[in-house]
Structure 1
Amino acid sequence: MSRIRIRRRHAMDHEHALRVADELAREMTAHYDFEWHWEGERLKLRRTGLRGEVGVYPNEIGVDLELGMMLRPLKGRIEQEMVRELEAILERHS
């Protein structure tokens, strides 16, 4: 498996940060057809060839993904799009 790990700091209250993670999942679902659901403070993502989560922490939002063999060639593109979406969402909410 190939891994993507993204961390971005934030200064939002916890509820606001949860909404940002939710918005990120919705945006990325439009691109990659994820299935997602909340498990406590973690938003679990899944689709064929990909699984992972978005974690909401007091000062940070983290994205951790594992890509299967078929998506490995797209790792750079997926990571760039996740970073771009997360940063755009954080900018809108700052």
Structure 2
Amino acid sequence: MSTIDIRHAHTLPAENARKAIEEVAAKLSERFGLQSNWVGDVLNFNGSGVDGAIALQPGQVQVTAKLGFLLSAMKGMVESEIQRVLKEKLG
């Protein structure tokens, strides 16, 4: 099982960052079929072969995920897609 740990800086107010994270989750849902829900300032997500969270912190977000066997083989592609969407939505 592979893990992903990405930190991405942002300068958005908390409310705008939360909306941006929801847009990130929507993109990831389209791409990987994930379901998500907020618990405080953490957006938990899961789907076939992936379990993780996006934590909203002052000045940064942290994406952590555990990839199942099939997605582990595509870890680089998954990380690149997450980073691309974070950059697009959070700057």
Matches within 5 A, 1:9-88: 9-88=9-88
Q: What amino acid maps onto 2:76 in structure 1?
A: G
Aligned residues: 91
Q: Give the TM-score, by structure 2 length.
A: 0.95
Deviations 1:47-84 (A, max 9, x none): 12110000100110111010011211010110000101
Query: Aligned partners of 1:71, 1:10: CA distance in 2, in Å?
Result: 27
The CA RMSD measured in Å over matched residues stands at 0.8
Report what 1:7 is aligned to: 7
Q: Give the TM-score, by structure 1 length.
A: 0.92
> How far off its partner does 1:90 sit?
1.5
* Runs of 4+ with deviation above 6 angstroms: none
Which structure 1 residue ranges, 5 or more long, are not aligned? none
Which structure 2 residue ranges, 5 or more long, are not aligned? none
